[in-house]
Amino acid sequence: MQEIFIILCIFLAFAFVHSVCVRDHTKGFVAQYAGETFMKAFYRFLYTLFSIIMTGAAFVLIRALPDVTLFKGPHWFRWLMHGIQLAGFFFGVYIFRVLDPWEFLGCRQAWLFITRRRVSGDREGLAANRLITRGPYGIVRHPLYAAGLIIFTFNPLITRNGILVSVLADLYFIYGALSEERRLLKQFGAEYGEYMKKTPRFLPRLFP
């Protein structure tokens, strides 16, 4: 149907642009032509801003499409699903107990540059160039992706468009996790390999 085709196009466009922006080749291209200073100061901030705009635009476009409700469920079911979604959201936010949120979003790097202070760290201005295994990262390897999986999968209002969006989003989270693992294995080598053996990807171990 037309709505499904439009959602697929929106999602593929989002996934393509998002994937291109996180690739080392793209970062190297920007650093080469805009300079390492610009890269450190603004790349992560602009990437965050661009992601927010693209996500918002995709949400508005998909919400405007005709949809069909397949299952709504009783009140207790909806409250239960929303409770699980809320738990997933707070689990994702929990990463900021071990990460600097302003640095993670790129705001700190941009502000340091604007106020004429030195931006240090790696290519994106991230100061913590080490493998983080504590906090939520000690529970699962990809807490943000796990949070996204929970939020999209446990939507209590099941609609035709909603199912498609949830499946596509979940597949992209899984793809993102696998891509991130390849990058971190290249960066940290055996250290990350040992971390992978000890820590599950998405589902926490009930027993050690």
- pTM comes to 0.89
Asked whether 102 and 17 are in contact (CB, 8 A), the reply is no
**What share of the chain in percent tops pLDDT 70?**
98
Q: How much is the pLDDT for 208?
A: 58
Does position 152 have pLDDT exceeding 80, yes or no?
yes
> What tens digit of pLDDT does each residue of 33-84 get?
888 888 989 999 999 999 999 899 999 999 999 999 998 889 999 999 999 9
170-173, long-range: CB within 8 Å, 24+ apart, which pairs? 172/11, 172/15, 173/142, 173/145, 173/148, 173/149
Q: Predicted confidence band at 29 (pLDDT cuts at 50, 70, 90)? A: confident
Which sequence spans correspond to the domains of the chain?
Answer: 2-198
